[in-house]
Structure 1
Amino acid sequence: MGFFSRLFRIREQDPASPDTTWAMEDNGSELVLDPEYATMLMTELDIDAAIAGHEKYRLRLQDMVTGRSQEVMRPERICHDDRCDLGRWLYGTGKVRLGHFPAFDMLVARHRYFHQQAADVVIAYQGGDQQRAEQLLNSSCRHASNQVLLLLKELKRGLGR
């Protein structure tokens, strides 16, 4: 059983419901999305672009903290996880399409935590606490970012079956 299948298990739903867009294989252990539905999901969110955008954002934070960039970031905006492209999708169409999977909640939570940690990095840096900014960036912020990336990659892999 793949990582995606273990994480994106289906919450209890009525299999006879017309809203049900999935089926379980005979062994009941794997998630199977209707190919047409999976294709629709892939057109609604460019997962590769979301991954690249997220990685780019983390590099912008790193460049700010290391002094390679003079960009002025605004923590009062960064802390909102629903304003980036991925966040808008997670709180909009993504929630409608995949919100019934427990791992979707995990992706939303990890994405929210990343934004909170990124804002804390900027606050520490702008407050003159370079050491704290680096510590946050290299620990909790990086960890949350890696989890978001892992979940996005697994989502892509799962949709591409």
Structure 2
Amino acid sequence: MDGVGVTVHLHVGGGLRAAWLVGCDGGRSLVRRQACFDFPGTDPTITVRQATGTVHGAELLGQGWQHKTAGLYGYGSRPGWIGTIELDGPAADREAAVTASEMDASLRWVSGLDVRVSDGADGGTRFTPTRGRRAPTGVAASCCAGGRPRAPFSGQSLNLGLGDAVSLGWKLRR
């Protein structure tokens, strides 16, 4: 960054020079970390998991989202789809792959039912939503961070990201 623009050094093909560099690469943003932007807000208080697998005892679960004391769970909106929302804090390791045993433990904990998840956790994801997390609104030279972390349900992140990109585009237009 030199006040006029920014040069991005690529692993392949050298560098790229641009008037602006905008990092909109999520809550675990490499761009934001390398540009040294703060990311203030509250730490996560819940853990959401979703995966596809085989559930033994699935007839006990019912269809759709169910509210329980320990959180919420959902089952059956797609064949084998399982989702849990635990209300007792964030996962110990947010980076690790979601396993069948993790989904099994989470579903049993939240539902309180004698069910078992097996056959992997295909497409498993875990996220721990936070509140108020947002890169600073200021711009450091020609580099800024955009976007907001959102739960990946119903295209929320995609839709907000597209809206943010359009808004940022007209603001950066020269």
Same fold, judged at TM 0.5 (above): no
TM-score by length of structure 1 reads 0.27
Structure with more of its chain in helix, by fraction: 1
Structure with higher Rg: it is: 2
The structure richer in strand per residue is 2
TM-score normalised according to structure 2 size: 0.25
